[in-house]
Structure 1
């Protein structure tokens, strides 16, 4: 494998510079898969043309980002482009895309997984699905549920929702030379050995488990039969430890370092970002199921960073001769880490030792390894190859 970044201002030149540097590391091998992460400040079709001028017709997927990281280096939003190239062996890659995901997200997820599985050509003993999607156009958990109807429990899913340098003007995904909105791309990865998708977050519970008794889309109306905003605000007011100055105003609407933890039947917890808007309405970034069990959670900087380091060991455990750790970290984590945001990529790369690290900052993360659920907020997910 090979990876490199560029911060040149010219889109085509930046794409070519990063691609040439990554290609040089392949030691004569041809790329079997190309992954591109880029700031939306670029002319993205020109940038992809610069990359493909080096990689030719090799399968290419990618996404716009809200920052990137590679081998310990941190590229903040509005900065540059990162390119990863993987040789075809020892894996088999099947790339696919689907557009119009907002119209019927469940069916789009099912079709995306079907196309990716068909593209890999034939069965392999083990598989994983890498997914990048326009998370601003659809419910990503619904997309994941659709994919699960094809993959079943045996195929883990990893990836992230594209970013847009925190402008919220629209996110993009890439497929070949195409730049698309309201779309998702995926790579079915066939392997002769098991592939392990892991996730971690560092958030800690501040309440006992509670029942969400009424929701309306992304609006949480009742918890334990009480007005949800009251329940949430009471916890925030009591939890003075997590109301430190660096959390205030970290994200428009996200005024505290508190979220929901969705408790799964197997005991795992999925983080769901939550905020109280100017009208006093409690909302989440991903809908909570009615009558689900939740806890209100918070996190401090050191806990977030420690969870990222621990994730590396979990991801590399039982992986045979790993070359790269594909990672997806939420932009909300950089908000909470604030001036220490660059520590996360530095610490995960140090923990990975000789293994390369490559990832981007997302608007939500895929990390499904057990059960149907597996779309996260404020979490970091990973797959070692």
Structure 2
């Protein structure tokens, strides 16, 4: 069995072609002469993305490429701020077999998109299956129902195949978000990478958010709009559970600087854990979530401060690296975390790499994170997720 080789490259050059070429050349050099078997690319949406992708592919060749537009990137302890830069990861085959596929049409039918993209990625990895597998997923961050995408994936993979990844972002703006597959840049879709492995692959997550008060029932919801909680106006109930003296200062609106606040909903799972669902007040004074809450679901109001969010880095890394001979840690963090961390945002990248030691970290800031390890659920907001290879 050959060892996995890893190369990481970054560039903040303003010219897309120069940035792509430089980052790709750095990444390929890290493989020590071995050809890349998989390339991951994250980039600001401010670039000419087709030109950027072409420049990267001119260096990496026809190796499968997957990735997404970002709201900032981080690797080997360094943060690239939103609106800047590209990050490229090159992997040799090592003990793994990779297969990539993509679909469009998430807005029309997210469930079918999830089913089709997972089948396509599995087929691209070849006709034989390794003893263990995982699915790496990137999706358009503004294209509808990401949990529906996961539901479709689950129908194909079942509970045995963990899922990890992130929803594409757009530099902290709610504008077009895009995914990358080989030579294509597109929205309203998803890209998946099937990973066959000789050992179990461990997907982990952690958020650092703290719950307040008793569980509450969502009694009136219309897609992303939450009208009532426990039979009362949702905004009224939400504010009652804030732990700050001036709650409206912490609850953002579309016209405020960033959508994310230090409060969120925690969707209660059967095991008692919470999936974080970020929320904001729209121009009509209604509470909206970035991912719809199911009708009659149980939630708690969650809060977080900067130390809460940063303190979760160490445990997530330790859990992810509790596998045999890890060589790289793929990590996905949320733009909501960056909004709350503010000037301490670079600390997250530093802490992740410090906890990982000699294992390089590679990730981007998303508009939602995938981390499904057992059941169907596994789409998160404001959460840190990871997979070590």
Which TM-score bucket, shorter chain as reference? Answer: over 0.9
**1:129–1:255 CA distance, 2 compared to 1 (3 A):** closer
The equivalent of 2:3 in structure 1 is none
**1:177–1:218 CA distance, 2 compared to 1 (3 A):** same
The equivalent of 1:326 in structure 2 is 330
Distance 1:350 1:91 in 2: 26
1:53 matches 2:58: yes
**1:240–1:189 CA distance, 2 compared to 1 (3 A):** same
The equivalent of 1:230 in structure 2 is 236
Q: Give the TM-score of the pair, scaled to structure 2.
A: 0.95
The equivalent of 1:149 in structure 2 is 155
1:193 matches 2:199: yes
Q: 91, 96, 101: which is aligned to 1:96?
A: 101
User: Cα deviation per residue 1:85-129 (whole Å; 9 max; x = unaligned)?
Assistant: 010121010100001221111111101111111111111110000
1:9 matches 2:14: yes
Distance 1:241 1:59 in 2: 51
Alignment of 1:152-301 (within 5 A): 152-236=158-242, 239-240=243-244, 252=257, 254=259, 256-301=261-306
The equivalent of 2:67 in structure 1 is 62
Q: Contact conserved, 1:242 with 1:299, CA < 8 A, in 2?
A: no
**1:171–1:120 CA distance, 2 compared to 1 (3 A):** same
Distance 2:289 2:382 in 1: 12
**1:24–1:63 CA distance, 2 compared to 1 (3 A):** same
Partner of 1:240, secondary structure, is coil
Distance 1:228 1:24 in 2: 54
The equivalent of 1:25 in structure 2 is 30
Partner of 2:175, secondary structure, is coil
Alignment gaps of 5+ in structure 1:
none
Q: Contact conserved, 1:173 with 1:180, CA < 8 A, in 2?
A: yes
Q: Contact conserved, 2:260 with 2:278, CA < 8 A, in 1?
A: no
Q: Contact conserved, 1:199 with 1:311, CA < 8 A, in 2?
A: yes
Q: Give the TM-score of the pair, scaled to structure 1.
A: 0.96
The equivalent of 2:361 in structure 1 is 357
**Offset, 1:247:** 7.8
Partner of 1:31, secondary structure, is coil
Distance 2:299 2:250 in 1: 25
**Offset, 1:169:** 2.2
**Offset, 1:278:** 3.3
Partner of 2:22, secondary structure, is helix
User: Which 10-residue stretch deviates more, 260-269 or 341-350?
Assistant: 260-269
Q: 297, 301, 308: which is aligned to 2:313?
A: 308
Alignment gaps of 5+ in structure 2:
1-5
User: Which 10-residue stretch deviates more, 263-272 or 343-352?
Assistant: 263-272
**Offset, 1:9:** 1.4
Alignment of 1:67-146 (within 5 A): 67-121=72-126, 122-146=128-152
**1:279–1:207 CA distance, 2 compared to 1 (3 A):** same
Q: Contact conserved, 1:65 with 1:163, CA < 8 A, in 2?
A: yes
User: Cα deviation per residue 1:343-379 (whole Å; 9 max; x = unaligned)?
Assistant: 0010010000110000000000001112111000011
Q: Contact conserved, 2:44 with 2:170, CA < 8 A, in 1?
A: yes
Q: 346, 349, 352: which is aligned to 1:345?
A: 349
Partner of 1:144, secondary structure, is helix
Distance 2:197 2:19 in 1: 32
Structure 1's consecutive aligned runs of 4 or more residues displaced over 6 angstroms after TM superposition are: 244-250
